[in-house]
């Protein structure tokens, strides 16, 4: 939060403030969202498997390229923290910051979840969102943000002095370690900033601080994505429940989440995953 200014105000202050902004990363040259293709992919798709994520815990599931996965609310309003890795190379993982720069603070249908450097390619594409009606509310809040990091035990300790082990960061660390037979310290280095699924967030109008409010998600709502590569998906059912009050708590009411996996009936033999980023990686040397 920026403090009140103490420097003298220049005569041309308003002229400087009135300069028209420009978009940092114009995305006009990105491949357009092919709605017809993705609609055909999810038509008559076949259920394959699912995983239930218990409250204040996390789990992982493998999603083959060309399959669809659905994050589903079942028993009550609950938000989830999503991590994504390339199952064949865990170093290639979801890059929330670049996704935010390319698509905005909150993502929806047609937006892609991009991978980290030096790969920088789509990992998954959002194809269905039952909360797309929400838009932005009068506080500036919306759902599915790529602003926040993930609740973690380090910040919790910094602010409260307590040891808390059910933060999403720790949940995802344990889940990744268990599924990939990694030591906790190895897994922790691979856990990354998240897509906050179903979470309703924004920035306050006065102090511009990151806020959260009760999620509008209800049982039956879901966010659906097409796997652009062979993925390992990790999801934590946040200890904050619907995040209406706090997000590192053993008291707040929490509910499970489900990840369902579907195989398209459509023949995808002519489809291929996105290629790796074509930057030559010489860095001017």
Residue 39 has pLDDT above 80, yes or no: yes
Given this model, what pLDDT does residue 127 score? 98
Instruction: Indicate if the alpha-carbon torsion angle 71, 74, 75, 76 is positive or negative.
Output: positive
Residue 47 has pLDDT above 80, yes or no: yes
Given this model, what pLDDT does residue 88 score? 98
Domains of the chain: total? 1
Task: Give domain status of residue 213, yes or no.
Answer: yes
Given this model, what pLDDT does residue 42 score? 93
* Rounded distance between C-alpha atoms, residue 129 and residue 132, angstroms: 5
For the entire predicted model, the pTM comes to 0.95
Task: Give domain status of residue 53, yes or no.
Answer: yes
Query: Per-residue confidence at 28, pLDDT binned at 50, 70, 90?
Result: confident
Task: Give domain status of residue 38, yes or no.
Answer: no
**Furthest CA-CA distance within the chain:** 66
Task: Give domain status of residue 160, yes or no.
Answer: yes
Task: Give domain status of residue 219, yes or no.
Answer: yes
Average pLDDT over every residue of 206-220: 96
Q: How many CB atoms lie within 10 A of CB 148?
A: 20
Question: What digits encode the pLDDT tens for the residues 112-166?
Answer: 999 999 999 999 999 999 999 999 999 999 999 999 899 999 999 999 999 999 9
* Rounded distance between C-alpha atoms, residue 51 and residue 260, angstroms: 7
Residue 209 has pLDDT above 90, yes or no: yes
What residue numbers bound the domain in which 97 lies? 49-254
Average pLDDT over every residue of 222-233: 98
Task: Give domain status of residue 21, yes or no.
Answer: no
Given this model, what pLDDT does residue 148 score? 86
Task: Give domain status of residue 58, yes or no.
Answer: yes
Q: What are phi and psi of 33, to 5 degrees?
A: -70, 120
Query: Per-residue confidence at 206, pLDDT binned at 50, 70, 90?
Result: very high
Question: What digits encode the pLDDT tens for the residues 182-202?
Answer: 999 999 999 999 999 999 999
Task: Give domain status of residue 285, yes or no.
Answer: no
Mean pLDDT over the full length of the chain:
96
């Amino acid at each position: 939060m920026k403090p009140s200014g103490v420097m003298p105000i220049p005569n041309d202050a308003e002229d400087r403030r009135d300069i028209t902004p420009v978009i940092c990363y114009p995305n006009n040259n990105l491949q357009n969202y092919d709605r017809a293709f993705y609609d055909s992919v999810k038509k008559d798709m076949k259920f394959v498997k699912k995983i239930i994520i218990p409250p204040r815990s996390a789990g992982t599931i493998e999603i083959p390229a060309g399959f669809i996965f659905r994050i589903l609310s079942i028993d009550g309003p609950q938000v989830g923290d999503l991590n994504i890795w390339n199952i064949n190379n865990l170093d290639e993982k979801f890059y929330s910051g670049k996704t935010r720069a390319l698509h905005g603070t909150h993502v929806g249908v047609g937006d892609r979840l991009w991978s980290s450097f030096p790969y920088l390619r789509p990992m998954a594409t959002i194809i269905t969102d039952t909360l797309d009606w929400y838009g932005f509310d009068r506080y500036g809040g919306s759902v599915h943000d790529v602003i926040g990091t993930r609740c973690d035990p380090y910040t919790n300790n910094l602010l409260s002095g307590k040891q808390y082990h059910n933060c999403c960061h720790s949940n995802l660390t344990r889940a990744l370690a268990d599924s990939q037979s990694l030591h906790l310290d190895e897994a922790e280095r691979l856990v990354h900033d998240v897509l906050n699924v179903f979470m309703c967030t924004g920035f306050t109008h006065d102090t511009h601080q990151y806020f959260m409010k009760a999620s509008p998600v209800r049982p039956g709502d879901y966010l659906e994505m097409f796997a652009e590569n062979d993925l390992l998906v990790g999801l934590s059912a946040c200890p904050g429940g619907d995040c209406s009050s706090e997000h590192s708590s053993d008291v707040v009411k929490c509910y499970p989440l489900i990840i369902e996996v579907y195989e398209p009936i459509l023949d995808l033999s002519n489809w291929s995953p996105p290629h790796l980023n074509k930057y030559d990686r010489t860095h001017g040397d």
